[in-house]
Amino acid sequence: ISESPSFIGKVPSCKVTDLARAIHPAAELTETGIRPGEKLHEVMLTEDEARAAFEYDDHYVVYPLRYLEEPRTGIRPGGVRVPDGFDYSSSSNKEWLTSDDLARLLKDLPPRDELIASAGPWQAEGAEA
């Protein structure tokens, strides 16, 4: 655990197939099965990290251990310790986006050129149109 708190947003999950359908509804999808090393679910907050985690309305915070050793030093008010054995992952997430939800979100994205221009000095090589 680092020397600074880590913030993990509570965000909805989605299936890759639903994202593909949102991007190209008429695309033919072929299921290939799981490949070695491929993950089915993304773990955002592990059980080990949860020992130092607090839950807030729309996010979790994992505090450095020194924050926990000194009573409430640097811990934001309003949080509740997560229970023992807790983890936050797409396998246990209760909020899921459908392909229609994803299509609406994608529709609201700015055009590709605007996204690339807004990247500034962090623009990826080869991202030119």
pLDDT score for 129:
47
The pLDDT assigned to 88 comes to: 95
The residue ranges of every structural domain in the chain are 6-122
Which letter, b or e, does each residue of 55-86 get, where b requires 16 or more Cβ atoms within 10 Å of its Cβ?
beeeebbbbeeebbeeeeeebeeebeebeeeb
Q: What is the pLDDT along the chain (129 residues), one digit of tens a residue?
A: 457 889 999 999 999 999 999 999 999 999 888 889 988 899 999 999 999 999 999 999 998 877 777 765 677 889 999 999 999 999 988 999 999 999 999 998 888 888 788 876 655 555 554
- CATH architecture type of domain 6-122: 3-Layer(aba) Sandwich (3.40)
DSSP string of 12-74? Answer: -B--HHHHHHHH-TTPPP----PPTT--SS-EEE-HHHHTTEEE-SSEEEE--HHHHHSTTTT
Supply the pLDDT for residue 123.
56
